[in-house]
Amino acid sequence: MKTLRERSPIAMDKEIERALAKDRVIDITTEGRKTGKGRRIEIWFFNLDGRFYITGSPGRRSWYANILAHPMFTFHVKGSAKADLPARARPIVKQGERREVLTKIQPLAGTFRELEPWVKGSPLIEVTFEQPADPKHPSK
């Protein structure tokens, strides 16, 4: 299996890799779907074998609506390391994939007992870390 460093399009130092392996709480900043203003919230993330997911309780969530409108966001590592990582969200909408991912998250989350309401109604995204724009080399 490839390490995060081998799979990620951005360079990560070992401190950030360790934080992504063991921390749970982050902040995310999304772009408001109506206002275009940055919206920062605290949320949990889940590292499943080097793939990163964010979910929440079933129901409508502003952060998720913002992600649907603007999939680029900032993933703020704030626990054992500090970093602001540019990221892209991929909403997971297919029921089979949602069930597969949420089944793996369920024992880690400790916040939900019944899987089906989460499969049917929770926001769920996969996170991919992006290379930050280099103002000196716009094509990169």
3-class secondary structure, 79? coil
Q: What is the DSSP string of 98-130?
A: HHHHHHHHHHHH-S-S-HHHHHHH--EEEEEE-
Q: What residues form DSSP beta bridges with 48?
A: 51
Domain ranges within the chain, ordered by starting residue: 4-129
Which top CATH class is 4-129?
mainly beta
Q: What is the pTM of this model?
A: 0.85
Contact of 3 with 47, CB cutoff 8 Å: no
Mean pLDDT of successive 10-residue stretches along the chain, which has 140 residues: 46 87 96 96 96 95 97 96 96 97 91 86 96 49
CA distance 21 to 44: 13
